Amino acid sequence: MLKTFLIMLTFIVMNSSTVFAAENILFIPHDNRPVSYQQPVDVVSQLNYKIISPPEELLTKPDELWTWFNENAPAANAAVVASDALLYGGLIPSRSHEFTDDELKARVENFKTLREHNPTLQLYVFGSLMRTPMFGTPGDIEEPDYYGQYGTQIFQLTALMDKQETDELSRKEKAYLDELEDSIPDEVLDDYFARRLKNLSATMKLLDFTADGLIDYFVIGRDDNAPLCQTHLENRHLLAYMENLGVGKDKAQSHVGIDEYAMLLLTRAVNDLSGSLPLVNVQFNSGVGGETIPEFSDEPIADSIRDEILIAGGYFISNPARADFVLFVNTDPDGETYDNHNSLPPQPLTKGEQRYFRRNAKKFSSLVEEAVNKNLPVGVSDIIFANGSDNFLMAQLRNKDLLFKLQAYGGWNTATNSSGSALGMGILAKKMNRKSIDRLLARRYLDDWAYQANVRTQIAAELSTRPDGLQIYLHLGEHEAEIVKRENELMHEFVKKNLPQIKKFTLSNPWHRMFECRIDF
């Protein structure tokens, strides 16, 4: 009898994450876009965890958000929080705020006070180095107004400054650097670099807290990065600072990307709370494969994904047969990233390009099919296109009846956004039933494939014939009802043809632009 009791007790302890009441995870995203907020919460909500999140209107009010955080932290077992929201009021405000040094220092110190009052809270923080877009778009809400006029020059200036620190500039490059400095107004450069210095100082202080154990894990994102630019330059100094602090990847990372960190750190929180160490294997398409350096990145995708596995609390293994999750990455054989989707006007593929992508999709889908037939837990990260799925691959997966035999899929945005989203979902899928997995897959297919790669592209083509088309595309304004109606018509047509399993859903554009959508079932 005693032996039976001990066996049953051991079973209950080992499976406590599913037997006992839900543990609480406090979550503060860096904004309320669906990819930042709704979607990662939806994934974790399929498990036995309660997500505590602030009212959306607080996300842009850092001082009020801190009050909410302090009031709700005692009820949480773990917290995944965006430092950009708690310091600046969000990811996008972090790029154009007017907060003083003293205001930011006080908010950073709040992390220390929070830890003093909540010594057992598992605290995971993610923030960003400011991005360096290659060009500016007039009217873009994501950068200061002057970036629309001087964005290209600022990027080129910082690329030369970055190179100058580690290599000798040619005479022509030195002359161009001087020319760029003269062509950009001093007040623009002063504003741009002063804000970046504030961001870097706050990030370094959070690293100090991480070294001291006040933060359990800290991820710093390099959004819209390039091999030479200001973000790359600052990261080089940041890595040296981390090395001097003795902070390794087991405590903190500076990593390419930003929007995937909520999903990855929520996954880490679940793994830590449940005592899990998922084993992850990664398979790349033929050709350049893992050595691909995607657009908006400054490193090979294989290195990025290895680091994402660590962020998620997993461990990379080379044998797919032993893995809890196997991620297949759809890279271009030549290591290119294509941006044919969602431009205005759209860039249709030539017949030669169509043949190229079709051949590639057949080969890659066969690798996925073989793994699924071996009953491996398979997911797909679809990164050939910078925004949206590879239509040729998705057609192959549909025709082979593989879409709802996967554990995870990601193809919505930049390479690391897509791979990180797929990794988090795929790692947690082991704890889900098939109905939950299919629900999450349905959302990804509707967003990444139907909307990003098709509906948005078609509407861009329709808008390109109108004189105000670009303005509507960027800011729906008074045309929002008309555009949303058209989006839903096209979405339902696409779903009827390609995803008949999905019966009821609605689509909206919560940020009143076409770049992202929200899917509700």
Q: Phi/psi at 83 (nearest 5 deg)?
A: -65, -30
Domains of the chain: 21-133+198-274 (3.40.50), 279-520 (no CATH)
Is the model's pLDDT at 330 over the cut of 80? yes
**pLDDT given for residue 342 in this prediction:** 66
Q: Which of 109-113, 189-193, 337-341, 460-464 has the lowest mean pLDDT?
A: 337-341
* Mean of pLDDT values over 227-243: 95
Q: The tokens of 428 are what?
A: 């947690």
Is the model's pLDDT at 177 over the cut of 90? yes
Q: Which of 94-98, 131-135, 136-140, 358-362 has the lowest mean pLDDT?
A: 136-140
**pLDDT given for residue 8 in this prediction:** 39
* Mean of pLDDT values over 293-302: 90
Whether the CB-CB separation of 253 and 220 falls below 8 Å is answered with yes
**Interval 445-465: pLDDT, tens:** 999 999 999 999 999 999 999
Q: pLDDT class for 345, splitting at 50, 70, 90? A: confident
Burial of 53 (0-12, 13-18, 19+ CB in 10 A): middle
Q: Which of 59-73, 289-303, 388-402 has the lowest mean pLDDT?
A: 289-303
Whether the CB-CB separation of 328 and 380 falls below 8 Å is answered with yes
**pLDDT given for residue 514 in this prediction:** 93
**pLDDT given for residue 11 in this prediction:** 38
Is the model's pLDDT at 422 over the cut of 90? yes
* Mean of pLDDT values over 474-479: 94
Q: Which of 151-155, 222-226, 401-405, 489-493 has the lowest mean pLDDT?
A: 222-226
**pLDDT given for residue 301 in this prediction:** 96
Tell me, letter by letter, the H, E, C secondary structure of 351-374.
HHHHHHHHHHHHHHHHHHHHHHHC
**pLDDT given for residue 22 in this prediction:** 67
Q: Which of 211-220, 295-304, 377-386 has the lowest mean pLDDT?
A: 295-304
**What's the CA gap between 415 and 64, in Å, rounded?**
34
Q: pLDDT class for 1, splitting at 50, 70, 90? A: very low
Is the model's pLDDT at 17 over the cut of 70? no
* Dihedral, 482, 487, 492, 497 alpha carbons, nearest 10: 130
Q: Phi/psi at 26 (nearest 5 deg)?
A: -85, 135
**pLDDT given for residue 19 in this prediction:** 34
Is the model's pLDDT at 203 over the cut of 60? yes
Helices (H), 73-170: 83-88, 101-117, 147-166
* Mean of pLDDT values over 90-99: 95
* Mean of pLDDT values over 368-388: 96
**What's the CA gap between 58 and 67, in Å, rounded?**
10
**Interval 208-230: pLDDT, tens:** 999 999 999 999 999 877 889 99
DSSP line for 151-189: HHHHHHHHHHHHHHHHSPPPHHHHHHHHHHHHHS-HHHH
**pLDDT given for residue 111 in this prediction:** 98
**pLDDT given for residue 242 in this prediction:** 97
**pLDDT given for residue 48 in this prediction:** 87
Is the model's pLDDT at 348 over the cut of 90? no
Q: Phi/psi at 278 (nearest 5 deg)?
A: -70, 140
Q: Which of 44-53, 138-147, 406-415, 508-517 has the lowest mean pLDDT?
A: 138-147
DSSP line for 46-79: TSSEEEE---GGGTT-HHHHHHHHHHHGGG-SEE
Is the model's pLDDT at 9 over the cut of 60? no
Share of the chain above pLDDT 90, in %: 87
* Mean of pLDDT values over 74-94: 97
**pLDDT given for residue 341 in this prediction:** 72
Closest to 195 in 3D by CA, of 97, 108, 105, 126: 97
Sign of the alpha-carbon dihedral angle for 367, 373, 379, 380: positive
Q: pLDDT class for 2, splitting at 50, 70, 90? A: very low
**pLDDT given for residue 346 in this prediction:** 77
Whether the CB-CB separation of 510 and 33 falls below 8 Å is answered with yes
**What's the CA gap between 272 and 274, in Å, rounded?**
5
Q: Which of 138-152, 367-381, 422-436, 467-481 has the lowest mean pLDDT?
A: 138-152
**What's the CA gap between 74 and 114, in Å, rounded?**
10
**What average pLDDT is seen over the chain?**
93
Residues 363, 368, 374: CA angle, nearest 5 degrees: 130
* Mean of pLDDT values over 239-250: 96
Q: Phi/psi at 356 (nearest 5 deg)?
A: -60, -50
